[in-house]
Amino acid sequence: MDDKSQNEPPSLRYLELVTQSQRTLYGVLWSLLRNANDVDDVLQETNAVLWQKAAEFDTRCEFLPWALKIAQLQVLAFRKRRQRDKLVFDEQLLTELVVNSIRDIHQAESRRRALAGCLQKLPGDHRTLLLKRYASSGSVNDMAAETGRSPKAVSEALRRIRAALLECIERTLAQEAQT
C-alpha cells in the first residue's frame, strides 16, 4: 500500500466514486438503521472516513464494497454509542445484511432504472398517494387527516403500492435478463 499523506487531497476519480456511491450507501444505511436522522448522521460520518482514507484506496479495486465496509464500521460504532436504545440490529444481523448488500451491489442501478419505469406504470391515484407520502415527508396520520381516510386505510394502500412496485421491479429485471 502506498504511504501517501492523509493531507493529500483526494483524486478527482476518488471524488467521482464517493459521489456515485452516495445513493447506495444511503439505501444500505436505511436498511441497517431505519431512522432518517440516524442515516444522515452515519452517512456523514462514513463520508468523513472515506475522505480521511482517500489515500489508502487502491483504484484497481471495487469502490462500493470498500465503502460499504467502512459504512458498516461506522454503524457498529454508532450502535455502541446507542446500545441502550434497542433501535439498532445486533452485530451479527448487521453483518449479514451488509454481506447480502455487497453481494447484490451490482443490481442496485438496474433496480433504480426499473423503479423509474414501474412508477410510470402505477395508476394515477396510487402514484399521487405515494409521492405525497415521500415528497411531503408526511406521516400516515397527516395524510389520513388530509384525505379523510383512516390511518389504517392509508397504511394498507401504501403497503399494496410498495408490493406492486417490488413485483414490477422483479419482473422488469427478469425480462432484462432474458433479453
Partner 1 sequence: MTSDDSLKLERLMNQVVDGGLSDSEELQLETLLHDNSTARDRYLRFMMLHADLLWDHGAAASLIDNESRTTSADQPRDVSQSVSLSQRNQPWLSGWLSPRLAVSMALVMVALTAWLVSQFVRQDRNISMARVSAALIITLEAIQGTAEWSDGPQKWQLSSGSEQRLSAGTLRLDGDGSSCQLRFDDGTRITVSGDAEAEFAQDSQKRLYLRRGSLTADVTRQPDGQPCVIETPTARVEVIGTVFTLVANSEQTALNVERGAVRMQRLVDGHEVEVLDQRRAIASLDATAEMQSVRVGPPPDSWRQNFDQPPPAICKGTWLAADGEQPSRVRGVPCVTSRRKSGKPIVHHGITARSGVETHLVTLHPDSVLRVRYRLTNEAPLRIMLGTNKPGGSFGGNFEVKRNSQQETLDSDGWRTLTVPLSEFQPLVKRYPSPLDGSQVSLLMINSHEHDVGLEVCEIEIRSTAP
Contact 34, 89 (CB under 8 A): no
Residues with Cβ within 8 Å of residue 50, at least 6 apart in sequence: 18, 67, 70
For residue 85, state whether it binds partner 1 (rule: CB under 8 A).
no
Phi–psi pair at 94, nearest 5 degrees? -55, -45
For residue 99, state whether it binds partner 1 (rule: CB under 8 A).
yes
- Three-state helix/strand/coil letters over 81-109: HCHHHCCCCCHHHHHHHHHHHHHCHHHHH
For residue 75, state whether it binds partner 1 (rule: CB under 8 A).
no
- x/- contact string, 131-150, with partner 1 (CB under 8 A)? x-xxxxx-xx----------
Q: Candidates 4, 80, 82, 104: give the one binding partner 1 (CB under 8 A).
A: 104
- x/- contact string, 151-170, with partner 1 (CB under 8 A)? ----x--xx--xx-xx--x-
Residue located via cell numbers 414490477: 168
The C-alpha cell of 115 is what? 423503479
For residue 80, state whether it binds partner 1 (rule: CB under 8 A).
no
What residues between 19 and 48 interact with partner 1 by CB under 8 A?
19-20, 22-23, 26-28, 30-31, 34, 36, 40, 43-44, 46-48
